[in-house]
Amino acid sequence: MLKVYAAQLLLAVEVGEEAEASGTDLLLPAQSELIAGIIAFIIVFVVVWKFAVPALNETLEKRQSAIKGEQEAAAAERAEAASLREQYQKDIANAEAKASEIVEAGRKDGMAAKADIIAKAETEASAIKERAQAEAAGERERAEGALRREVASLSLDIAEKVVGSGLDRGASQALVDEFIADLDGAQA
């Protein structure tokens, strides 16, 4: 293999040396090679013209539109995410407002209940107090009446004993009562 290879190289060396001997051969195109070159170049050109250039354009366009599509999708997703975030922030703000509203309402309710309870208690206390006072006043009146009657009776007894007998019990009683009533009037 190597030997053949070297032989080819050596043969090729001849080109340089031969140029002097038959240089025109080297500079004039061999007709068959020229035709082969034309055919070969036409093959390449047709492939480039009919296939490679359209294929390249198509590929680049496809890639461009794919990138554009991805960018647009990403932008849409970003916008959606932003709107979602805004929505969430609004929701959170609403929830916070509602919570503080509830707390405020609770506080107000509590205060009202407290005031209510206090007022009720006060009313009840004053009612109890009034009742007690009324009761006490009644008691006193009753005691005073009894005392008065007792005093009158006692006074009559005493007077009877002093005067002896014969006092009109009924008239004397009226007299005493009148006296006591005068006393009451003088006191008042």
Partner 1 sequence: MEQLILAVEVCDTANEIICVPNSVNELFELPFAGFLNRTIILTIFAALLVAAMLFFGLRRRSLVPSKFEIIVESMVTFVRDEISVGIIGKEHGLKYFPYLLSLFLFLLVGNLFSVTPFIMFPVTSRIGLPIFLALVTWVLFVLAGFKEQGFGYLKGLVWPPGVPVGIKPLVGIIELVSVFLVRPFSLAVRLFANLVAGHVMLSLLLASGWVFLSGAGGLGKVPIGFGWFTLGLGIYLFEILVAVLQAYIFTLLSAVYIQTSVHPEH
Of 2 and 171, the one with the shorter C-beta distance to partner 1 is 2
Distances (CA, A) of 116 to 21, 73, 123: 133, 63, 10
**Distance separating alpha carbons of residues 41 and 72, to the nearest angstrom:** 44
Span 25-44, contacts to partner 1 by CB under 8 A = 25-30, 32-34, 36-41, 43-44
Give the nearest distance from C-beta 60 to partner 1 in angstroms: 8
Give the nearest distance from C-beta 53 to partner 1 in angstroms: 5
The one segment of 58-66, 93-101, 114-122, 131-139 that binds partner 1 by CB under 8 A: 58-66
Give the nearest distance from C-beta 71 to partner 1 in angstroms: 14
Distances (CA, A) of 115 to 105, 109, 112: 15, 10, 5
Distances (CA, A) of 53 to 1, 58, 59: 41, 8, 10
Is 7 near partner 1 (CB under 8 A)? yes
Is 150 near partner 1 (CB under 8 A)? no
- Count of residues interacting with partner 1 (CB under 8 A): 51
DSSP state, residue 47 = I
Q: Tell me if 163 sits within 8 A of 183, measured CB to CB.
A: no
Is 73 near partner 1 (CB under 8 A)? no
